Amino acid sequence: MAEQLHLQASSREERYQELYPQLQSLTCRETNLIANLANAAAALRQAFDFFWVGFYLVEGDELVLGPFQGDIACTRIARGRGVCGTSWLTGKTLVVPDVDAFPGHIACSSASRSEIVVPLRDTAGEIVGVLDIDSDQLSDFSEEVDRPALEQIALLLAPLFSKVKQ
């Protein structure tokens, strides 16, 4: 079946609002975690043309690269390292306006200028990975628009992880 996103809004906030129900219907019909994360990464990239969108998934004491859209990236990140590992360690979303100013930032690409990382939890509240989005523009992500919208998407994805564990 052909899948197509319908996105018309010009503001980022409205685009997130358009995207959310489409992500919901896209992921609720499929139980395979990889398929759902792959489509979620593709949808976010397609909607906003971000430089890099992807998932890192918890495996032991590391994050391992999962489905993503963009250039090749580092495959393993230790807990507490870089923006992704710090988001996992603290359990908090990190909005980084200038990656060069973030101590310990892991530069997978020199074109990346700003970044947002959102922890992903399963329905039991355990952190199972992070959603990482990079931009080639400085200060491209905001606490007011991107953070709540992406945290809402992280909540939408939570049951997918729980299905895998059952």
Q: Which is nearer to ligand SME, 23 or 53 (by Cβ)?
A: 53
Which among 24-32, 69-77, 143-151, 155-163 is the span making contact with ligand SME, rule CB under 6 A?
A: 69-77
Candidate list 67, 82, 119, 129; residue touching ligand SME; CB under 6 A:
82
Long-range contacts for 53-58 (Cβ within 8 Å, ≥24 apart)?
53/131, 53/132, 53/133, 53/134, 54/131, 54/132, 55/120, 55/129, 55/130, 55/131, 55/132, 56/84, 56/129, 56/130, 56/132, 57/128, 57/129, 58/88, 58/127, 58/128, 58/129
Q: Is residue 84 within the footprint of ligand SME (CB under 6 A)?
A: yes
Q: How far is Cα 130 from Cα 22, in angstroms, rounded to an integer?
A: 21
For the chain, where are the alpha helices, taking DSSP H only?
A: 12-28, 33-48, 82-90, 146-165
**Does residue 121 touch ligand SME according to CB under 6 A?**
no
Q: Please tell me the count of residues contacting ligand SME according to CB under 6 A.
A: 14
Dihedral in degrees, nearest 10, Cα atoms 103, 138, 84, 18: 160
Show the binding pattern over residues 129-148: x = contacts ligand SME (CB under 6 A), - = does not.
---x-x--------------
Stretch that binds ligand SME, among 18-26, 70-78, 136-144, 156-164 (CB under 6 A): 70-78
77 binds ligand SME (CB under 6 A): yes
Residue nearest to ligand SME (CB): 82
Shortest distance (Å) from residue 164 CB to ligand SME: 23
Which residues form the interface with ligand SME (CB under 6 A)? 52, 73-74, 77, 82-84, 105-106, 108, 112, 115, 132, 134
